[in-house]
């Protein structure tokens, strides 16, 4: 796990990541399972449901000039913060902890 403090639109924030870039598809590319007729009612598939479990090295998305990290030195770039489904950001001055999503199971878009 990696956590960095950043300045995001003038506010300090904590960004956390499980550093499993090989399993990161991106919020818009990760395979989903529809849970109902409502197009907004879906769940991301768990890591073990994704065949070999490896995401594309380049899912084809970009944030600013940043793509999905390939090198260690690129981790927690703009792509991670805006596009990576495995990355979480919280306000630094809040009492919230950085809680990373658990991709050992499906993650619902709409909470129960």
Collect all residues with Cβ–Cβ distance below 8 Å to 5 and sequence separation of at least 6: 12, 13, 14, 15, 92
Say which residue the tokens 């990760």 belong to.
Answer: 30
**Of 26, 6, 23, nearest to 15 (Cα)?**
6
Domain positions in the chain are 2-100
Q: What is the pTM of this model?
A: 0.85
- Nearest CA to 85 out of 51, 41, 55 is that of 55
- Over residues 19-74, the pLDDT tens digits come to 999 999 999 999 999 999 999 999 999 999 987 668 999 999 999 899 999 999 99
Please state whether beta strands 11-17 and 88-91 pair in parallel, antiparallel, or not at all (unpaired). antiparallel
């Amino acid at each position: 796990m990696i956590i960095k403090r950043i300045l995001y639109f003038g506010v300090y924030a904590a960004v956390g990541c499980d550093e499993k870039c090989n399993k990161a598809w991106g919020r818009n590319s990760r395979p989903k399972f529809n849970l109902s007729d409502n197009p907004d009612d879906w769940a991301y598939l768990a890591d073990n449901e994704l065949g070999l479990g490896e995401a594309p090295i380049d899912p084809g998305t970009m944030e600013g000039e940043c793509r999905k990290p390939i090198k260690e030195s690129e981790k927690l770039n703009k792509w991670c913060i805006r596009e990576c489904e495995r990355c979480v950001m919280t306000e630094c001055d809040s009492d919230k902890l950085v809680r990373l999503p658990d991709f050992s199971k499906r993650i619902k878009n709409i909470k129960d």
